[in-house]
């Protein structure tokens, strides 16, 4: 199983944001188009972000959104991943 028990909120938000774009981060790692190190960087950026409350609220209402919000530190990386998927 891929996960980050030391940063469960950041892992959940990162994974949730990716899912909104149709990307399974776990599958991306297993399939080899995202390294474990790169996944860790995504989670670390999320962990350092001060917008977790805004992120949670945005995701609660963003079903079908084509892109992450502008305040997301992983916006560009997740958009690139969604193009690869």
More confident residue, 9 or 4: 9
Q: How far is CA 83 from the centre of its chain?
A: 14
Domain membership of residue 77 (yes or no) is yes
Q: What is the pLDDT of residues 22-45, one digit of tens each?
A: 999 999 999 998 999 999 999 999
Domain membership of residue 2 (yes or no) is no
Domain membership of residue 21 (yes or no) is yes
The answer on pLDDT for 2 being more than 90 is no
Domain membership of residue 27 (yes or no) is yes
**Tokens encoding 77:** 């990386």
Domain membership of residue 3 (yes or no) is no
> How far is 39 from 31, CA to CA, in rounded Å?
13
Count of structural domains within the chain:
1
The answer on pLDDT for 1 being more than 90 is no
Q: Within 13 A of 68's CA, how many CA atoms are on the CB side?
A: 27
Domain membership of residue 30 (yes or no) is yes
What is the mean predicted confidence (pLDDT) over 38-59?
A: 95
Q: What residues make up the domain containing 54?
A: 8-84
- Report the first-to-last Cα separation within the chain, whole angstroms: 20
Domain membership of residue 40 (yes or no) is yes
pLDDT confidence of residue 3? 66
Domain membership of residue 1 (yes or no) is no
**Burial environment of residue 30 by CB neighbours within 10 A (0 to 12, 13 to 18, 19 or more):** exposed
What is the mean predicted confidence (pLDDT) over 53-82?
A: 90
């Amino acid at each position: 199983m891929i996960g980050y028990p030391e940063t469960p909120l950041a892992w959940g938000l990162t994974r949730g944001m990716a899912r909104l774009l149709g990307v399974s981060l776990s599958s991306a790692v297993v399939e080899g188009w995202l390294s474990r190190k790169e996944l860790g960087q995504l989670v670390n950026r999320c962990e350092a972000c001060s917008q977790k409350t805004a992120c949670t609220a945005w995701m609660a209402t963003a079903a079908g959104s084509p892109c992450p919000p502008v305040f997301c530190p992983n916006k560009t990386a997740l958009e690139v991943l969604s193009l690869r998927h």
